[in-house]
Chain A
Amino acid sequence: MTWTKKVLRVNLTEGSVNEEPLNMDWAAEYIGQRGLATRYMVAETDPDCDALGPDNKLIFATGPLTGTAVSTAGRYSVITKSPLTGAIACSNSGGFLGAELKSAGWDMIIFEGKSPSPVMLNIINENAELVPADDLWGKSVWETDKLIHEKSGDPQTRVAAVGRSAEAGCLYSAIINDLHRAAGRSGVGTVMASKNLKAVAVRGTRGVGNIKDPARFMKSVAEEKQVLAENAVTGQGLPALGTQVLMNVINEIGALPAKNMQLSQFEGAHNISGEAMLEPRKSDGKPNLTTNAACFGCTIACGRISTVDRTHFSIENKPEYWGNSGGLEYEAAWAMGADTGVDDLDAVTYVNFVCNEDGMDPISFGATVAAAMELYEKGVITKEQTDGVELKFGSAEALVWCAERVATGEGFGADLGLGSKRLCEKYGHPELSMTVKGQEFPAYDPRGIQGMGLTYATSNRGACHLRSYTVASEVLGIPEKTDPAVTEGKAGLVKAFQDATAAVDSMGLCVFTTFAWTLDNMAPQMDAACEGDWTVDRLVEAGERIWNLERDYNIKAGLSGADDNLPERLLKEASKAAPTEGQVCNLDQMLPEYYQLRGWTADGQVTDEVRQKFSLPG
C-alpha cells in the first residue's frame, strides 16, 4: 500500500455509482495519479473521441503518497481528453481535496457518460451518491462551494466544482477545489461541465495508512522535510514570495515574454512581482499579501493569500471581494500582467479572484486576452466586438472587462473563451496565437531559455512549463547550472526532466519539491510507504513509460510530430531585450536529438521497440 486499491466508477448516463478494485498490475507500472489514470484512459476510451462528448471520460486520481505525511503529498490530478488541445490532459491540483478523497478510501473516481441533468457527486467515506444539482447550475464556484457547505454543515467537506465559464463552454475552464486551488490547464473543467457534473464534495475520515515500514517511513519523511527546509528556494524563496519570486529574476535575464510574446522583457514587471506584493499600499497601508498558505501536508507553503485594495476601481463597489482569497502565482501574474502589458497589481489580483471564482485557467485566459489585444492593435478586432471597450495592451480596465465576460460567457466573452488559437483563427490571424497544440504558453520565453522551447514543443499536453521545468537548471542551477542560451545538451535535459516529473506527479507529490529534491530524496519515502521495491531507477523507468503512453495516446488521437512545434514568432522574431538580444528559439537544433533519445522515429512516432521495452498496451 498505500493505495486504497479502490476505484469509484460513476456512470453519469445511468446515474450509477460503483466500487471496483484498483488494477494493481497497472499501479506497479504506472504508480498512480497521472500515470495510472492515463493507463485507464487508454484502456477505456477511444483517443479519437469527442472531448466534450459522452464517450470521453474524466478521472480524478490520487497518487499512492497522497494523504500521507510526505511533504506536499496532498495532490490529485484530473485526467481526460482535452477539448483545447485534443491531446491527453492531466491537470494537477493541490489544496485539500486529494487527501480527503484518499482518506475517504478512494484512489480514483472515473466519471463516464453524461448526465441528462445537472448533478453533483457526494462522497462521505465509502458512501457515494449522485444528487441533483439544478440549484447549483448557473452558480459560480464560490457560490457553489458555499451552498454545498451550507447543506453539509461540515466545514471540513472539501469541494471541487466548475464555474459559469465551463457551463458556457469556455475551452480552458478549470476545476477549482478548496476555493482557489485549480486543476487548471487544458479545459478539464469544460469536460466536467459537458457531462453536467457541477461539483464533487468529499469528506473522508478513514485515514490513510497501511504504511509498509512505518518507522523507516517517518524517519525518511522527517529527513526529507529537513532538506526542503534548508534549501534556499523551498525553505525561503517560495514561502516568502511564492512562485512570484521568479517575476523579477526571469525579467532580468530577458526571458519574461510580454505583450503576446512580442517582447522578452516587461517594463512593469516589478509592479506585479512577489516583492511588490509585500509593499504597503497607499490606501490602507496593508500589503497585497496577507500570508502564505500551504496545501495539505506541504512544508513549503508557497500559496498566496491576498486582498485587493478596497478603493481599487475593480472592487470598490463589491464588498464580496474585500476579504482574503487566493493570490497571485507567477504564471498567472505573468499571463494576466506582463503578457497583456498590465502592471496594475490590484487589477491582476482581482482578475485572479475572478478566475478562481468562475473556474478559468489564468494562463490561457491571460494569454488569450493578450492575443485579442494584438488583434485589436492590428485593427482586426474593433470596438464593435468589445462594446466600445478599448482592448489595448496595458489597459487594466480592459483586462477586468474581459475576465468578467469570460466568467459568464456573455458577448465577446464567448470569443475569448475559445482560447488564443481558435480566436486568432476566427479573426484570420493564426500566426498571432502563442500556443502549442492549441494550448497557451506560460511565462518563460523560449528565445531566452532554449530548453523551455523544447519543453513546450514536446509537452504531451501542449505548451506547459510543468512537464519539464528546465528553468530549474538553466536559470536557477538546479540540480546543476546549464546555459539558457545554448541548445546543446537540452534534449537530454528535457527528457530527464520529463521522465522524472511524470514519476513525481504520479506519486502524488508537488513538482515544486524538485527545487530541493531529486528522485533520490523521493524514492526512499515511496519505498518505505508502498508495497514493492521503489528505487530511483524504477521511478525513472515508470516515468519514461508514462511519457510514452501519453505520447502514444496523442498519436492515436490524431496528433503527430508536426505538432511538436512553436509559433513562428519564437523561431524567427529575435528578442529585443538586452540580455537575450538577437536570440530566437532554435528548436530544430534540439528536436531530432530528442526524438532519438526517446527512441522514436524521425517524425516522432513511438516505435515497436519502445512499446515492447515498456510493455505499452495495444
Chain B
Amino acid sequence: MQRSLTIDPEKCTGCLQCEMACSFENEGNFNPAKSRIKVFTFHEEGRFVPYTCTQCDEAWCMQACPVDAIKMNFTTGAMEVNEQTCVGCKVCTIACPFGTVNYNVDTGKVVKCDLCGGDPACATACPTQAITYVDASATGLDKMRAWASKTDNAQATT
C-alpha cells in the first residue's frame, strides 16, 4: 500500500523539528530556510500549519518540466527532481499551484519534497504526530488534494 505524508495542523506546536530534519537530510545542515517542508505561523489565531508537496495526482510540476527532469518514483509515489537533468528553468516553480517546488539559487536547480525515498525525515522528527507517513487513503491527504482539484484548469463533465 502506498503511503503518504499526512499533516494535522491542530497538533503542530511550531517547533520546526521537521524543517531541521528535512534540511539536514537534504542539505547536510540544520537550515529551516532550505527545508522542503515549511511551518507557517498564524500568530493571532494561535495556529501553526506545516506544509509541503502533496505529491498531487496532477503533478503540475512534472507536466510542466520541458526536459523530463521530474519523474514519479513508483515505489513511493513521490515526484522526484533529477538534478542532473534539471536545467533550472523554473517553470515547475510557477506551475505548482501549491508553491512547493522552489528554486535554489546556490545550485541553479529546483528542490521539492521527495519523501526521502520512502522514510520522510520530517515525520520521524515531528514530536507531536502532526506529520505522519501513513496509508494514502487517510483523510488529511484527501483534504489537501481537494485544494488541488480547485486549481485544476479542467473540469470533468461527468
Contacts and interface: CB of A to CB of B under 8 A. Distances in A.
- Find out whether A and B make contact in their complex, taking CB atoms under 8 A apart as touching: yes
B29 A207 contact: yes
A294 B15 contact: yes
A218 B13 contact: no
Interface string B26-45: 01111111100000010111
A206 B32 CA distance: 9
Contact of B31 (A205, A211, A301, A305): A205
Contacts of B24: 69, 214, 218
Interface in A281-324: 290-299, 301, 303, 305-307, 323-324
B131 interface: no
A298 B45 contact: no
Interface in A178-216: 179, 204-211, 214
B43 A294 contact: no
Interface string B1-43: 0000000000001111100110110011111111000000101
B33 A205 contact: yes
A324 B46 contact: yes
A228 B30 CA distance: 21
Contacts of B44: 323-324
B136 interface: no
Interface residues of B, number: 28
Given A290-B46, A291-B47, A207 B17 contact: no
A299 to B, nearest CB: 4
A210 B31 CA distance: 12
Given A69-B20, A209-B28, A301 B15 contact: yes
Interface string A116-133: 000000000000000000
Nearest to B125: A69
Contact of A208 (B29, B124, B127): B29
Given A225-B127, A297-B17, A299-B15, A156 B45 contact: no
A616 to B, nearest CB: 34
A498 interface: no
B98 interface: no
A358 B30 CA distance: 32
Contacts of A297: 15-17, 20
Contact of A229 (B28, B29, B127): B127
Interface string A49-82: 0000000000000000001110100000000000
Nearest to A229: B127
A359 B99 CA distance: 37
Nearest to B25: A218
A292 B127 CA distance: 13
Given A69-B21, A207-B34, A229-B127, A296 B28 contact: no
Contacts of B23: 207
A179 B125 CA distance: 26
Interface string A138-157: 00000000000000000110
Nearest to A208: B30
Contacts of A225: 17, 127
B103 interface: no
A324 B46 CA distance: 6
Nearest to A303: B13
Interface in B51-83: none
Contacts of B28: 209, 214
Contacts of B127: 71, 225, 228-229, 299, 301
Contacts of A211: 29
Contact of B43 (A179, A209, A222, A229): A179
B74 to A, nearest CB: 28
Nearest to B33: A205
B139 interface: no
Given A207-B23, A299-B127, A323-B44, A103 B33 contact: yes
B128 interface: yes
B116 to A, nearest CB: 13
A67 B30 CA distance: 7
A303 B46 CA distance: 11
A9 B104 CA distance: 31
A298 B31 contact: no
A596 B110 CA distance: 63
Given A292-B13, A294-B13, A301 B33 contact: no
B45 A323 contact: yes
B144 to A, nearest CB: 21
Interface in B109-158: 124-125, 127-128
Contacts of A296: 15-16
A208 B34 CA distance: 11
Contacts of B46: 290-291, 293, 305-307, 324
A222 B124 CA distance: 9
Given A69-B21, A209-B29, A323-B43, A301 B128 contact: yes
Nearest to A226: B127
Among B13, B17, B21, B34, find the residue whose CB has the most chain A CB atoms closer than 10 A: B13
A299 B17 contact: yes
A68 B30 contact: yes
B16 A204 contact: no
B125 to A, nearest CB: 7
Nearest to B128: A301
Nearest to B28: A209
Of the listed residues A228, A239, A291, A307, the one surrounded by the most CB atoms of chain B closer than 10 A to its CB is A291
A324 B43 contact: yes
B15 to A, nearest CB: 3
A207 B33 CA distance: 8
Interface of A: 67-69, 71, 96, 103, 155-156, 179, 204-211, 214, 218, 222, 225, 228-229, 239, 290-299, 301, 303, 305-307, 323-325
6 contacts: A103-B32, A103-B33, A290-B45, A303-B13, A305-B46, A325-B43
Given A295-B15, A301-B13, 20 more contacts: A67-B30, A69-B17, A96-B16, A103-B32, A155-B41, A156-B32, A207-B27, A208-B29, A214-B24, A222-B125, A290-B45, A291-B46, A291-B48, A293-B14, A293-B48, A297-B16, A299-B127, A303-B13, A323-B44, A325-B43
